[in-house]
Amino acid sequence: MKSTAVKKEGENPGIVKKILGNPVIGPYMALVAIIVISTAVSGNFLTPTNIANVLVRASVVGVVSIGMTIVLLVGGIDLSVSYIMSLTACLLARMLQAQVEAGKTGIALGSVLLVLALGCFIGLINGTIIVMRNLEPFIVTLGVGEVISGITMLYTNGAPGGKLTKFWTDFGKAELLGIPSTVWVFAVMMIIFIVILHKTIFGRHIYAIGSNAEAARLTGIKVKINKIMAYVLCGFTAALAGIMLMVRVRIGEPKGASGYDMDAIAAVVIGGTAMSGGKGTLAGTLAGVLIMAIMNNILNLIGVNANLQIVVKGLIILVAVLIQKQDK
Amino acid sequence: MGEYALEMLGVTKTFSKVTALDNVNLRVKRGEVHALIGENGAGKSTLMKILSGVYKADMGEIKINGEEAVIRNPKDAITKGISIIYQELSLVPELDAVKNVMLGQEKQKAGFINSKKEEEFAEKYLDYVSHGAFDYKTPVKNLSVAQQQMIDIAKSLSYHSDIIVMDEPTDSLTNSEIEVLFEIVRQLKKDGITVIYISHRLEELFILCDRVTVLRDGQYIVDEDISAVDKDWLIGKMIGRDLKDTFPPRHRQERERTVLEIEGLTGEKFRNISFRLKEGEILGIGGLVGAGRTEVLRAIFGADKIQSGSVKVFDEAVNINHPNKALKYGFGFATEDRKGQGLFLNQSIRDNIAAAALDRVSNAGFIDDGKEKEMTQKYFQDLRVVAPDMNKICKFLSGGNQQKVVLAKWLASGCKILFLDEPTRGIDVGAKYEIYLLMDKLVREGVSIIMISSEMPELMGVADRILVMHEGSLTGELKQGDFSEENIMKLASGEKLA
């Protein structure tokens, strides 16, 4: 046989090389750097209260980012998430208010499941239109988002409203092992979705579709259904994030979620997920979410002008994307 | 000025540890038609991409008219008088002939295009090649491949190119179109233009070319006057051994069971196709590019719609409307376009091999890591994929190894009927042989294979029967005793056999 052209590399690359070769190393190095710098510039940063504060903020964006990661992995995007969040928050807060007025204090499971199902349903609409008519996800989700936004405004007249039952106000304040409840929700969701993406056939198919949809189809993968499913899951996580937001502000705020869509997309991309699909991990997204949250926090702590903060945030996103490993 | 219009000396090029060219020489005399030949993967395209500035050589020099030249990018090549006509023509489909020729060299004043001047300029070159054989105002997407090719040649001439490279120009042309192309090439030669002609159709070289350079496995083998050699000599130089050793011996068992029965299948690009596939046989499908061969297999596989006709698998009438269903009936399909349709390029070898067989290694949707690894490792080793480990990302593999990964995927899926569309295209000779061996082993184990190939020696060397298609219809079936390039060519161009 002729000599093979590919030379054998060392069979067991060192542990250092293995770590450096891992695709999420970039975001995590950036995360460590930002923590070190933040600790250095502000004595208030590394305090338990502040860390808890950062994590709570990160949790809401984090849950949205989970769904966004899946949608980006199939080569899509979802611009309707913040509108889904607002609708969910307003709807649930008002349904809970009715419960409060009826003298109830409980979890109101039926209402909660209803708004979560609504999130899934909006995702189903997004996905179905995109897949069946083969349209650009960008414009479809933008359109659907606008519709939902309008419906929310019609429903609420643009005013914040609703009231939480005792269960939910308690839940907002609850801690377990010193960690706030919303952070636990984020952590649990993260674990569930990491298992889904990396341990199930569905997860493998998501990566395959994003990597090469035609090859996936010819490998017998049901591309359409899986793509729609990605949007359904994104709708679900957006609705869940809406509930978390409602718990935090204890009211349904029709414009309370604005900016979460862009923050989530930025966090996912900073975490190393390719907008072209097929490449990325939830572990990376976690790093991206934390980087964004810490940035927001430290700029506040050192008293940077609010408008300047936006500029800095934008620059951080650009730098993060620029230094990401380029594929040839 | 020396006698050479172009000299490429000691050119070496490696891609991430794979040596594509190793110290290659190409010397082309002024005003000659110089054939550049070699098997797929021999390095012809890479060499031409270096000449046109698409790639940069690691080592070696280029001399144009005896003077050393540095070609940094495609624009450099054009200004130095070199242009290349690629197999995939570089025209904008929506624009007409004149606008395509003028693209990038628009006649303008203050940003406004002077259409009249453009027409005058472009028509001069278009007339030279086409003698006005088609309308220059038709969007080129509505023209035939041959006509588009003419526009591409006119475009090259309009850059005042002295050296024109043609990469497999006759691949998708009909016989009469080929004649016209030859006339154009002769005319170019008469007017002192040097032509480098890449083709795998060796007969053409004896009609058209003056000299020939042979490459094999990225190495320069020989250059020689074409009049001094014959076809067998060329083949010997190209493959480095006798033709009869190119294909492994067949080991077939007589089996009579029909596994696939196609009756009157009609789709958008083919009509009334009927044939049977027997268990454990390799059925070849020959024909020209565009004859509808791929489309027939895609339709059976559920990737495209069927207009009418019936498909029976193991005597059961089936309606396969999605590849997912095809897999359930035991089909596998290794497509011709490996990168575009076969592989998940940015995923690991392991993920690729497992992609069609996840059901076999999972419980209730959850993948069993250990089982998956065991299964993929087995096929990784069986097919001798050359890579450090299974975590290697597929886009860094050579064409031959990529094809092995695709085949491993289908073997892992446990398919019983395997479609192979140009299974050895772009693969070097050693890996080709391995793939033929694998096919032989598969049919011995009872898998049935349909293989589309444009390489006639491959069809004759590997298949048990050959079906030939022409413009969407089946024109004939050849049994092993009737195998000859002449017979296949006749059927492929729509003629009847005597």
pLDDT tens for each residue of chain A, 328 residues long: 334 444 344 445 566 666 666 777 888 888 999 899 999 988 888 888 899 889 998 999 999 999 999 999 999 999 999 999 999 999 999 999 998 888 888 888 999 999 999 999 999 999 999 999 989 999 999 999 999 999 999 998 888 888 888 899 888 888 888 889 999 999 999 999 999 999 999 999 999 999 999 899 998 899 999 999 999 999 999 999 999 999 999 888 888 888 899 999 999 998 988 888 888 999 999 999 999 999 889 998 888 888 998 898 888 878 877 766 554 3
Amino acid at position B371, single letter: K
- Does the distance separating the beta carbons of B335 and A218 come in below 8 Å? yes
Is residue A264 a part of any domain in this protein? yes
∠ at Cα A247 (A246, A252), nearest 5°? 25
Which chain A residue has its CA at the smallest distance from B429's CA? A2
Is residue A109 a part of any domain in this protein? yes
State the DSSP H helix or E strand holding residue A217, giving kind and residue range, or none if neither: helix A213-218
- Interface subset of B 326-365, CB within 8 angstroms of A: 326-328, 333, 335, 340-347, 351, 354-356, 358-359, 362, 365
**Nearest of A46, A27, A57 to residue A301 by alpha carbon:** A46
Is residue A41 a part of any domain in this protein? no
> Please, how many CA atoms are within 13 Å of residue A56, restricted to the half-sphere of its CB?
21
- Does the distance separating the beta carbons of A207 and B386 come in below 8 Å? no
- Does the distance separating the beta carbons of B19 and A212 come in below 8 Å? no
Looking at the structure of chain A, the number of domains it has is: 1
- Does the distance separating the beta carbons of A4 and B358 come in below 8 Å? no
Distance in angstroms (rounded) separating the CA atoms of residues B222 and B468: 35
Which chain B residue has its CA at the smallest distance from A217's CA? B323
Is residue A49 a part of any domain in this protein? no
A208 in contact with B at a CB cutoff of 8 Å? yes
Domain architecture of chain B: domains with CATH: 4-244 (3.40.50.300), 258-492 (3.40.50.300)
Q: Contact B162/B191 with Cβ under 8 angstroms? A: no
Which chain B residue has its CA at the smallest distance from A196's CA? B366
Residues 6+ apart with CB under 8 A from B263: B274, B309, B310, B311, B312
Sign of the CA dihedral running B234, B237, B238, B242: positive
B324 in contact with A at a CB cutoff of 8 Å? yes
Task: State residue A1's pLDDT score.
Answer: 37
Count of beta carbons in the 10 Å neighbourhood of residue A43: 9
Is residue A48 a part of any domain in this protein? no
**Crossing angle of helices A260-270/A48-73, nearest 10°?**
80
Distance in angstroms (rounded) separating the CA atoms of residues B109 and A189: 62
User: What token pair was written down for B166?
Assistant: 């043609």
- Residue B86's Cβ-count burial label (10 Å; 0-12, 13-18, 19+) is middle
pTM: 0.76
**B431-451 CB burial, b ≥16 within 10 A, e <16:** bbbbbbebbbebbeeebbbbb
Distance in angstroms (rounded) separating the CA atoms of residues B398 and A62: 40
Residue B105 Cα distances to A23, A61, B156, angstroms: 44, 51, 12
Is residue A322 a part of any domain in this protein? no
Give per-residue pLDDT as tens, B297-347. Answer: 999 999 999 999 999 999 999 999 999 999 999 999 999 888 888 899 889
Distance in angstroms (rounded) separating the CA atoms of residues B360 and B413: 8
**Nearest of B311, B257, B272 to residue B419 by alpha carbon:** B311
Residue with tokens 């005013």, as numbered in its chain? A159
**Nearest of B432, B465, B460 to residue B448 by alpha carbon:** B465
- Interface subset of B 208-247, CB within 8 angstroms of A: 217
Give per-residue pLDDT as tens, B37-96. Answer: 887 668 888 899 999 888 999 999 999 998 999 998 888 898 899 988 887 777 888 888
Residue A261's domain spans which residues? Answer: 66-283
Sign of the CA dihedral running A68, A74, A77, A78: negative
A199 in contact with B at a CB cutoff of 8 Å? yes
Count of beta carbons in the 10 Å neighbourhood of residue A19: 11
> Max CA-CA distance within chain B?
76
Residue B330's region, left for phi above 0, alpha for psi from -120 to 50, else beta, is: left
**Nearest of B398, B415, B236 to residue B333 by alpha carbon:** B415
Asked if the model's pLDDT at residue B123 lies above 80, the reply is: yes
- Beta pairing, strands B4-15 & B59-64: antiparallel
**Number of CB pairs, chain A paired with chain B, less than 8 A apart:** 101
Chain B residues touching residue A205 (CB < 8 angstroms) = 358
Is residue A181 a part of any domain in this protein? yes
Is residue A152 a part of any domain in this protein? yes
